[in-house]
Amino acid sequence: MSEKVRCLIIGSGPAGFTAAIYASRANLAPVLYEGIQPGGQLTTTTDVENFPGYPEGVTGTELMEDLKKQAVRFGAEIRNGIATSVDFSVSPKKVIIDGEKEIEADTVIISTGATAKYLGLPDETKYAGMGVSACATCDGFFYRKKVVAVVGGGDTACEEAIYLAGLASKVYLIVRKPFLRASKVMQNRVFAHEKIEVLFECNAVGLFGENGVEGANIVKHAGQANEEKFDLAIDGFFLAIGHTPNTKIFEGQIDMDETGYIKTQAMSTKTNIPGVFAAGDVADPVYRQGITAAASGCKAAIDVERYLNETECSL
């Protein structure tokens, strides 16, 4: 037997919880399923200092708990569970939770986020929040006048390196290929920056340190006759090898770009399916910040309210 709701929010994090706050205040009785990572990516971050309203900073977990409590205060129903399949070809939309429970929803807000790509080293997990980061904009401030390394060779990696160079005393750009994939403009900026040193044909194979990252184990010319191993002294290790939007269950159901990010219309959170909206990193390959995700969650809830008013008035 299925359950009927007016507004279903798939995924938590700043986008999902903010959408729940606004939807609740609009008397839409939203139901939110937290997904595979309740609270989203920020729960893996130790200190958050760039989210408005927290002048002394806050841990990512505390921030998400505050947003969750605020949503619950206004009447949002927050549930544990993972959306495992959807059918957006019908109205109301059908969403299956944990492979068994069916939800029929007049509107759906997708806020499943995106997952940063890592190298897959055990040390990345060991030092998570202790020197390993996948967001220079989020965590670069903690490495002022320190030495850091950025892994990657594309535009994102170059942008991260340049951003960090404005804070750190030294930035190593670790590139596994003998060239940068970034645009020529970004390459020129990197090569011209006195604080950035590019390490071509190098792979980070491990990290070390007592109470946090103190260095990286590097292999240069891996598998070749002139293979060389050395340790690189650093205080921070930043991954800039891309993100994967959490959109697999929506494939074939909704329009996405070539990398899997959900396409939204103009300045709204509307997708190509009436009644389905997308908020946060799942539809944002550019900014990927907690505050921009929260803002899009607000927009999604307002878009839902207007959609419901329009469709219900037309009946």
- Residues forming the active site: 135, 138-139
- Burial, 291: exposed, middle or buried (Cβ in 10 Å; 0-12, 13-18, 19+)? middle
44 Cβ contact list (under 8 Å, min separation 6): 60, 128, 129
Secondary structure class of 62 (helix, strand, coil): helix
Q: Helix (H) and strand (E) counts for the chain?
A: 7, 19
Q: Which long-range contacts (CB under 8 A, 24 or more apart) does 174-178 make?
A: 174/149, 174/150, 174/199, 174/202, 174/203, 174/204, 174/216, 174/218, 175/199, 175/200, 175/201, 175/202, 176/201, 176/202, 176/203, 177/153, 177/201
Distance CA 179, CA 38 (A): 39
Secondary structure class of 23 (helix, strand, coil): helix
Distance CA 144, CA 136 (A): 12
22 Cβ contact list (under 8 Å, min separation 6): 297, 298, 301, 302, 305
Angle among Cα 146, 147, 151 to the nearest 5 degrees reads 135
How crowded is residue 65: how many other Cβ atoms within 10 Å of its Cβ?
16
Per the CB < 8 A criterion, the answer to whether 302 and 24 are in contact is no
